[in-house]
């Protein structure tokens, strides 16, 4: 284990967090809020940790998969601990456990909250809370790979450790260039959404907050009612960008280099869009009687389906009051999630597609024992190691899910609350049903579980 390299990477993460903390400090100056001192103190503390940790360069910059996973895990913990400090110091979130929960939820892009009234927070705190989603959306270590001159091909292990899909590939031969391209696409999509929201009459601050929540697919907002108070135009723009951020960023790269045919052959993207279209139509029919027109029902159905499958968890209505069929379908979408290589959470469309193809293959061979059928995805043969990794992922997922359900049961809440709270947390959604529905939060849960 290359401990020196892990220490160096953690120190670099602290340096980047210090840079990120400069923005909420600037917001506090603009709005003349006293809470800015808490963010400045944290900025200084992060800078000190960066200075101390990077003074001595590691003798060897070589690291492997285990270092990559350890570095990613410790980086997220360190980011969240330091990110929680300004919440706590400013006393806007008096309990450090609650502050840590909010920071973890932001950097992991889960979007779960323990706050009853978000609008009561200062502009500075609201900005940092939402900005953590944007930071976590693409992954801070991917950002490091793009910026730091890490030598060799070992930095691909950092990207693999943060990968949300069954496998990771490079867009171009150099990993660092790939990371830069990913962040350029991420940044440009965010800026385009901000501009479109501004054209809809949304104040700059609100446009930033909504765009951070959409890009990071975490759904933190500046208002307690999520996006209910905004116009249909704003909600419509958000629908489009939630779906866009749920698509594999490789598709955008292919479009940028004018490889249109290859981009349109992205199998996972078409599965993803087909699932969205099917869910929107079915739910629209199911909830029609709850709205004044088909248009209104379609609009809210499209918004909630896009929000849930991309794990953004913004809301325009209280979908906890929808018919059981619609709520059950939304729960299924929570599990499916968005595409691999996107900022969305969930199990991923690609994993479900490959598992379904594996199932059909096994059924085919039961009927035709001598038949030979190769599993293909995205035009390529699915290798055995990919199938093994997916099977391992599902086994681990189910194990963690079952244990979590049992532990959450200690709160003695109803089964739907317990079940959907675990679904929301494990799939990075942040909203479930009943007590953790769009009108609720995680504030009633005990400190331990």
Q: What is the pTM of this model?
A: 0.90
Helices 123-138 and 204-215 sit at what angle, rounded to 10 degrees? 30
Asked if pLDDT for residue 446 goes beyond 90, the answer is: no
3-state secondary structure of 270: helix
Contact 323, 286 (CB under 8 A): yes
Confidence of residue 146 (pLDDT cuts 50, 70, 90): low
User: According to the model, what pLDDT value does residue 137 have?
Assistant: 84
Average pLDDT over residues 369-392: 83
67 half-sphere exposure, CB direction, 13 A CA radius: 19
Question: Assign residue 370 a region: left if phi > 0, alpha if psi is -120 to 50, beta otherwise?
Answer: alpha
Question: Exposure pattern of 278-314 as b/e (b: 16+ CB <10 Å)?
Answer: ebbeebbebbeeebeeeebbbbbbbbbbbbbbbbbbb
Report whether pLDDT(194) > 60. Answer: yes
Question: How does residue 440 score in pLDDT terms, banded at 50, 70 and 90?
Answer: confident
Q: Cβ neighbours of residue 13 under 8 Å, at least 6 residues apart?
A: 75, 78, 79, 140, 141, 144
Looking at residues 149-163, what average pLDDT do you find? 52
Across 336-367, b (16+ Cβ under 10 Å) vs e yields bbbbbbbbbbbbbbbbbbbbebeeebeeeeee
Burial group, residue 71, by CB count within 10 angstroms (0-12, 13-18, 19+): buried
* Residue 252 half-sphere exposure toward CB, CA atoms < 13 A: 19
> Which pLDDT band holds residue 256 (cuts at 50, 70, 90)?
confident
Phi, psi of 380 (to 5 degrees): -125, 150
Q: Over range 291-304, report the average pLDDT.
A: 95
**Better-predicted residue by pLDDT, 58 or 188:** 188
**CB of 253 within 8 A of CB of 185?**
yes
Distance CA 349, CA 175 (A): 24
Q: Is the C-alpha dihedral spanning 445, 446, 448, 449 positive or negative?
A: negative
Please, which pLDDT band fits residue 152 given cuts at 50, 70 and 90?
very low
DSSP calls for 58-83: -S-----HHHHHHHHHHHHHHHHHHH
Half-sphere exposure for 311 (CA within 13 Å, toward CB): 38
Question: How much is the mean pLDDT over the chain?
Answer: 87
pLDDT reported for residue 387: 87
What count of residues does the chain have? 449
* Mean pLDDT within 165-176: 54
**Contact call for residues 337 and 345 (beta carbons, < 8 A):** yes
**Higher pLDDT, residue 124 or 367:** 124
Nearest to 340 by CA among 394, 396, 267, 422: 267
């Amino acid at each position: 284990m290359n401990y020196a390299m892990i220490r160096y990477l953690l120190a670099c993460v602290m340096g980047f967090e210090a840079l990120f903390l400069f923005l909420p400090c600037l917001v506090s100056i603009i709005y003349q809020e006293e809470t800015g001192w808490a963010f400045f103190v944290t900025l200084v503390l992060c800078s000190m940790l960066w200075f101390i940790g990077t003074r001595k360069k590691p003798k060897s910059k070589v690291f492997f998969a285990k270092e990559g996973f350890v570095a990613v895990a410790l980086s997220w913990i360190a980011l969240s601990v330091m990110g929680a400090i300004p919440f706590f110091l400013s006393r806007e979130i008096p309990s450090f456990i609650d502050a840590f929960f909010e920071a973890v939820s932001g950097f992991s892009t889960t979007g779960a909250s323990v706050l009853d009234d978000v609008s009561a927070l200062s502009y500075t705190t609201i900005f940092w809370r939402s900005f953590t989603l944007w930071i976590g959306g693409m992954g801070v270590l991917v950002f490091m790979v793009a910026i730091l001159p890490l030598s060799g091909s070992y930095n691909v292990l950092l990207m693999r450790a943060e990968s949300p899909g069954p496998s990771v590939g490079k867009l171009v031969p150099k990993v660092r260039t790939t990371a830069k391209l990913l962040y350029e696409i991420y940044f440009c999509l965010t800026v385009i959404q901000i501009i479109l929201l501004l054209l809809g009459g949304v104040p700059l601050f609100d446009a930033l907050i909504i765009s951070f929540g959409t890009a990071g697919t975490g759904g933190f907002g500046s208002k307690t009612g999520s996006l209910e108070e905004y116009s249909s135009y704003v909600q419509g723009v958000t629908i489009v960008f939630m779906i866009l951020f749920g698509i594999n960023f490789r598709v955008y790269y292919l479009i940028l280099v004018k490889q249109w045919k290859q981009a349109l052959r992205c199998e996972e993207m078409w599965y993803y869009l087909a699932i969205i279209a099917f869910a929107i139509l079915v739910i629209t029919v199911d909830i029609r009687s709850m709205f004044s027109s088909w248009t209104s029902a379609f609009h809210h159905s499209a918004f909630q389906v896009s929000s849930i499958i991309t794990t953004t968890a913004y809301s325009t209505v209280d979908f906890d009051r929808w018919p059981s069929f619609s709520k059950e379908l939304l729960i299924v979408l929570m599990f499916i999630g968005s595409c691999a290589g996107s900022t969305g959470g969930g199990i991923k469309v690609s994993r479900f597609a490959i598992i379904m193809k594996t199932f059909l293959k096994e059924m085919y061979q039961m009927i035709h024992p001598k038949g030979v059928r190769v599993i293909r995805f995205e035009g390529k043969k699915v290798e055995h190691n990919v199938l093994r990794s997916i099977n391992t992922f599902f086994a681990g997922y189910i194990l963690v899910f079952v244990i979590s359900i049992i532990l959450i049961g200690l709160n003695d809440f109803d089964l739907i609350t317990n079940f959907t709270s675990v679904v929301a947390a494990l799939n990075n959604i942040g909203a479930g049903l009943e007590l953790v529905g769009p009108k609720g939060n995680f504030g009633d849960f005990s400190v331990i579980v």
